[in-house]
Structure 1
């Protein structure tokens, strides 16, 4: 297994039956759908990428993955057109489907289901286990699916070259790298930067924390309107930092107000795809990095941006060491039901994504459909559509930013999370209006 897979395997063994590491998405397809071409396109994706026909089990020397031969994808079709309310029935079918467990020891670990709500309207439900998925890979899947479907509708062969690298090959290469000097140098960076870091971030909760986590959660979505989002982008340009840096700095202010702490860690996911041959590879590569927040001395927000930039660049330069190796080297105290260093995450899904287009169809993709689970106390995922389109013809970095607030329902209420999402938006407005404001002057406001 890769290091990310092995960490997830450990979590699955520790908490059997959790669905927090299953991924769901829907594709709303409006127009004339060629179901045979769609099934053929999905079958070709599975043939091309070994990780999509891989199972996992305990072996004599630890967990291992087994690659199976290619197979024809099963694409069940539920025709709901005759129902009194097809859309409601489709929503109920999706809720039921995302609540099922994916057995990682049996194929398939990625599956699809088609729901027809009208002659010209379908919903394609996509489910896969995180052992074979990350956000970058999902965007690659979307691009390949569009290219293959287009070719097959037009009666042409696949236009895609064979993958340069299969995931099992990547896992072997990663293991070999961990035995070298590069891994030792990166680990030394993390032990220096996180030395004496608080092992936990205690946010004020609505319910007392229990020693056993149920991973029960929800993931409401909120939107930072285009006008405010563009102001945040403008601030990032003026300060010569990334959009992520400004948004993370504002999130750190929110956590500071929520917890009363000025020194803590926020986790974030990094792609881990530092070599070009991994760009088009499907599979779980993403790694977690602990970004240490430093709000000591009541800095002006502009100074906080500088601190966050330094921390973020250091993390990106040393992102290849698995998070588990960092935790093992630091040996933080452990508590039942707690995850050391990173219990609150801020993720940024800006991996490249071309427009999702299929001939004869309007396509709307909703990634990360909630399944009633949460991986962490709080995990805020920013989806900046404009940044995903960087490099495309006619691209302009403008537009709204969607935020998914995944939270643990055993700790927080929906009302609290909604208030914090609103407070975060107020903070963004305040810091863009005057980035020279000190953190202490960024009033929490009324909830």
Structure 2
């Protein structure tokens, strides 16, 4: 057995607190048109699972409250198959099967934490759906694994030999992240981010859209997919090249201006995922991706190209300091929350630029769909930008697709369509006049809100961290001094000044300490307690009453 990586710890905690959430299920659908052999693809999947240890990982209970993991040497790979050619409505039946695959929970103690399904939609038309739990994969891993499968498939179908690309195992990656050299790099990156983010506001609120977030972020989500045409993206690429910026920096700048207009905030912290892969693990399958908080200041009177320049600088600086785990940043910045939202940012902007693995077989074409909706989201709002090559390898028309995932606690479908439409309008205005003041472009997009968002309670501040009176169930016996929960608080937080009315999160606790707190309480009390209880009742007095009420049911 070996420990979870820093990225895995976050995923595992979220899954424990909200086991019904599917926010950490990711699905890719590979589409085949032409002559296709399902028997061969099954064999290729099984062989690839044998080559990549992350897809043979299972979670193992420990006494610490956070599990370890182990690689199962030999597992049975099952690929379900459905023939929809005679279905009354193949598209409807396909949707039902896909939703079932995405929404079915994984048993984290049983490998593999991946499932596959083949759909035969019509003569010469097949689809392979692969759903992975985020504990064992990230976006780059999906492409690596599917590339390996399709390379072997192409070799077998053409009579050639498949020579898989050598790569270290995921277990070796986890060991690498525990080395003194790597930990020193993490410490340096955390210090850099702590200085960069000092005094920042860590949320973006949209007063003219959506609703107030509730105390416990529940991951319920929706999805809207937007297509940016090839002619528009050709113009974006031209403008980016002329000004010396990347396409991603250009899109991020426009997204930032959109958020500024809807929020009224001239300074934003936007999350951005990074591969976080040491060069020697470039071809390793496993969960490595991290997310960093980009801090951007927006002057609406400055040229839009200046904002693109700032965005590009922020992205490159982030890449230079990408090894800082979110939980370490939370601790360094003394950020915490009772909710399960990220304490450092509530909106994301990302690009998935790893292309669909090419398959060079006469008579067979391949394309891919990623980010299939699971009815969940990790953030209030998250946008993933995908160039056409990601979906259709070399067959695309060079347009882009944007996937807008959103919290249904915060937004309705009409809100997100408003944002997406505004984004495209701003983007068109920017590429027409990149030197114009960014705040003057497309003035009809999102007039400044009537009340300044800076006057609202700070995110994860008064709305979520302040102690709540009257939340705990009433009990006749009262709560004795020196309760078991109080003992657990003092042990985990290593503080003797904690009393029955001390809020765990205000006293320095954070999300990843919750399972340790619960495990210690279970040792003292001899009974199991769901981690979600600590997010709902965060004082020893509240928790003592809540667990007593549960025991009495």
Task: Establish whether TM, by shorter chain, passes 0.5.
Answer: yes
Alpha-carbon distance, 1:441 to partner: 1.2
2:337 and 2:343 in contact (8 A); partners too: yes
**After the TM superposition, which of the residue ranges 369-378 and 145-154 deviates more from structure 2?**
145-154
Equivalent residues in 2 for 1:290-369 (5 A)? 290-296=293-299, 298-332=301-335, 334-336=337-339, 338-358=341-361, 360-369=363-372
Equivalent residues in 2 for 1:10-409 (5 A)? 10-61=13-64, 62-161=66-165, 163-177=166-180, 180-204=183-207, 205-275=209-279, 277-296=280-299, 298-332=301-335, 334-336=337-339, 338-358=341-361, 360-386=363-389, 399-409=398-408
Alpha-carbon distance, 1:159 to partner: 2.2
Cα 1:164–1:83 change in 2 (3 A) is closer
TM (norm. structure 2) is 0.75
Q: What is the DSSP-based 3-state SS (H/G/I as helix, E as strand, rest coil) of the residue aligned with 1:197?
A: coil
Cα 1:147–1:47 change in 2 (3 A) is same
Distance 1:397 1:29 in 2: 15
1:267 and 1:345 in contact (8 A); partners too: yes
Distance 1:300 1:385 in 2: 29
Distance 2:216 2:231 in 1: 43
**After the TM superposition, which of the residue ranges 100-109 and 75-84 deviates more from structure 2?**
75-84
1:299 and 1:439 in contact (8 A); partners too: yes
2:204 and 2:346 in contact (8 A); partners too: yes
1:152 and 1:158 in contact (8 A); partners too: yes
Q: What is the DSSP-based 3-state SS (H/G/I as helix, E as strand, rest coil) of the residue aligned with 1:285?
A: coil
In angstroms, what is the RMSD of aligned CA positions? 2.3
**After the TM superposition, which of the residue ranges 266-275 and 170-179 deviates more from structure 2?**
170-179
Alpha-carbon distance, 1:241 to partner: 1.6
1:149 and 1:358 in contact (8 A); partners too: no
1:199 and 1:333 in contact (8 A); partners too: no
Distance 1:206 1:444 in 2: 21
1:357 and 1:363 in contact (8 A); partners too: no
Cα 1:336–1:354 change in 2 (3 A) is closer
**After the TM superposition, which of the residue ranges 101-110 and 357-366 deviates more from structure 2?**
357-366
Distance 1:444 1:215 in 2: 33
Large movers: runs of 4+ above 6 Å: 395-398
Q: Which has the larger radius of gyration?
A: 2
Alpha-carbon distance, 1:133 to partner: 1.3
Distance 2:402 2:156 in 1: 35
TM (norm. structure 1) is 0.92
1:350 and 1:388 in contact (8 A); partners too: no
Residues 106-136 of structure 1 deviation map (CA, whole Å, 9 limit, x = unaligned): 1221111112223432222211111111111
Q: Give the unaligned 5+ runs of structure 2.
A: 447-553
Distance 2:397 2:378 in 1: 31
Q: What is the DSSP-based 3-state SS (H/G/I as helix, E as strand, rest coil) of the residue aligned with 1:131?
A: coil
Paired positions, count: 441
1:167 and 1:281 in contact (8 A); partners too: yes
Residues 256-301 of structure 1 deviation map (CA, whole Å, 9 limit, x = unaligned): 00100011200011111231x2121111111101000111474221
Distance 2:314 2:16 in 1: 33
The answer for the alignment partner of 1:410 in structure 2 is 409
Residues 141-166 of structure 1 deviation map (CA, whole Å, 9 limit, x = unaligned): 222111111222345553224x3200
Distance 1:426 1:297 in 2: 17
Distance 1:250 1:144 in 2: 36
Distance 2:15 2:115 in 1: 20
Residues 170-201 of structure 1 deviation map (CA, whole Å, 9 limit, x = unaligned): 01111225764322221111011100110222
Distance 1:102 1:359 in 2: 37
1:423 and 1:444 in contact (8 A); partners too: no
2:369 and 2:391 in contact (8 A); partners too: no
1:230 and 1:398 in contact (8 A); partners too: no
Distance 1:402 1:279 in 2: 25
1:26 and 1:126 in contact (8 A); partners too: yes
